[in-house]
């Protein structure tokens, strides 16, 4: 991985545009403005906060790290190496706070933290940091594996009898898939159970996915995330995925407007589902969300509810979406 990282850092910032003309100068500028906003709102301890009270710092710090890595900025390297190194070390301290490696206050946070650790593993300057990431990642995965509920999904807390919903399951399984791709053992049984859970929360009339199996809980966010984790679980070109794709595409172009609930969360998963589906689907979807996000960015470089001191989850998610053509992060590659 070190050789791979060196090649990224040696390449010009626009090198990935050769195969992705949809990464316009305007999109690159928006990404850079967003990263600048994040840098100006990082706390001295290295973290980012979700709100004025400092809530959900684990999730926001993890997503912010992913946003920088989506532009090939890694801890210890390049112009932002010191800031990202502080963020990485803060996250590792959080991993050590609990006796079992659980991070954050809900499984959403633990999922994003596990994902960030997985994608940073092998990409740091210091081998001691790399060893610490591996240890934290292995413990984080253990928490996820033992928290899977009998029906195959996950819920808000790390317990196997706490119920299930697709929104939490999307976040957690995304992290598991990344860890497995990085070399951490994830049992096939865990994956198979998750697929059965997906089948149970599918809305039969539309083919879309619901939050918990109830038709009234059908949503763009759950459909997009359900497609993506199904793809990561090896379900490409199955009826489960294809019918959900038809439903998700039926929401266009309205889904790019103002009325989509959980806008950034929905598109964070939707664009990755399109990447996994192939160039034809991706090339139709990305330009629309790209242009919509550029129009939504504030003069300060932020998105959504972000404000000084609390960038929220929306700003890093918007950056990750815009930076999709770069393909620097393995889990976001096809």
pLDDT tens digits for range 260-288:
999 999 999 999 999 999 999 999 999 99
How many CB atoms sit inside 10 A of residue 54's CB?
A: 13
Q: Is the backbone peptide bond immediately before 205 cis, with ω within 30 degrees of 0?
A: no
Domain borders along the chain are 24-332
Percent of the chain with pLDDT over 70: 94
How crowded is the C-beta side of 102, counted as CA atoms within 13 Å? 17
Calpha distance 279→295 (Å, rounded): 24
CATH number corresponding to 24-332: 1.50.10.20
pLDDT at 1: 39
Q: How confident is the model at residue 20 (pLDDT cuts 50, 70, 90)?
A: very low
Least confident of 19-33, 150-164, 221-235: 19-33
pLDDT at 120: 95
C-alpha 154: how far from its chain's center? Answer: 17
pLDDT at 218: 97
* Predicted TM-score of the model (pTM): 0.92
Mean pLDDT value across residues 221-226: 98
Mean pLDDT value across residues 116-132: 91
Least confident of 19-28, 69-78, 175-184, 186-195: 19-28
Query: By the 8 A CB rule, do 274 and 282 touch?
Result: yes
Query: By the 8 A CB rule, do 115 and 178 touch?
Result: yes
pLDDT tens digits for range 1-16:
333 333 333 333 333 3
Per-residue pLDDT at 222 exceeds 60 = yes
pLDDT at 22: 79
pLDDT at 90: 97
pLDDT at 14: 36
Per-residue pLDDT at 122 exceeds 60 = yes
Q: What is the 3-state secondary structure (H, E, C) of the chain?
A: CHHHHHHHHHCCCCHHHHHCCCCCHHHHHHHHHHHHHHHHCCCCCCCCCCCCCCCCHHHHHHHHHHHHHCCCCCCCCCCCHHHHHHHHHHHHHHHHHCCCCCCCCCHHHHHHHHHHHHHHCCCCCCHHHHHHHHHHHHHHHHHHHHHCCCCCCECCCCCCCCCCEHHHHHHHHHHHHHHHHHCCCCCHHHHHHHHHHHHHCECCCCCCEECCCCHHHECHHHHHHHHHHHHHCCCCCCHHHHHHHHHHHHCCCHHHCCCCCCHHHHHHHHHHHHHHHCHHHHHHHHHHHHHHHHHHCCCCCCCCCCECCECCCHHHHHHHHHCHHHCCCHHHCC
pLDDT at 31: 98
The CA–CA distances, whole Å, from 266 to 33, 167, 261, 292, 305 equal 22, 10, 8, 13, 16
């Amino acid at each position: 991985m070190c050789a791979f990282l060196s090649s990224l850092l040696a390449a010009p910032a626009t090198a990935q545009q050769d195969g992705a003309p949809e990464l316009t100068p305007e999109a690159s500028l928006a990404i850079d403005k967003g990263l600048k906003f994040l840098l100006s709102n990082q706390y001295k301890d290295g973290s980012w906060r979700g709100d004025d009270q400092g809530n959900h710092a684990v999730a926001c710090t993890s997503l912010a790290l992913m946003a920088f890595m989506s532009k090939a900025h890694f801890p210890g390297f390049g112009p932002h190496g010191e800031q990202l190194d502080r963020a990485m070390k803060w996250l590792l301290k959080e991993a050590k706070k609990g006796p079992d490696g659980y991070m954050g206050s809900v499984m959403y946070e633990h999922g994003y933290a596990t994902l960030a650790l997985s994608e940073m593993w092998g990409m740091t300057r210091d081998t001691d940091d790399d060893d610490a990431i591996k240890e934290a990642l292995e413990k984080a995965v253990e928490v996820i594996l033992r928290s899977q509920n009998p029906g195959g999904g996950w819920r808000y807390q790390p317990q196997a009898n706490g119920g299930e919903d697709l929104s939490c399951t999307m976040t957690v399984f995304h992290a598991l898939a990344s860890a497995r791709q990085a070399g951490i053992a994830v049992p096939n049984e865990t994956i198979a159970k998750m697929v059965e859970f997906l089948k149970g929360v599918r809305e039969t009339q539309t083919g879309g996915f619901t939050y918990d199996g109830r038709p009234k809980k059908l949503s763009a966010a759950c459909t997009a995330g359900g497609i993506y984790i199904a793809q990561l679980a090896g379900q490409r070109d199955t009826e489960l995925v294809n019918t959900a794709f038809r439903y998700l595409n039926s929401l266009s172009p309205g889904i790019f407007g103002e009325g989509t609930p959980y806008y950034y969360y929905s598109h964070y998963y939707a664009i990755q589902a399109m990447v996994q589906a192939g160039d034809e689907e991706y090339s139709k979807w990305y330009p629309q969300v790209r242009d919509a996000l550029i129009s939504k960015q504030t003069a300060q470089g932020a998105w959504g509810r972000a404000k000084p001191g609390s960038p929220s989850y929306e700003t890093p998610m918007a950056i990750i979406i815009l930076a999709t053509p770069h393909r620097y992060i393995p889990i976001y590659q096809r």
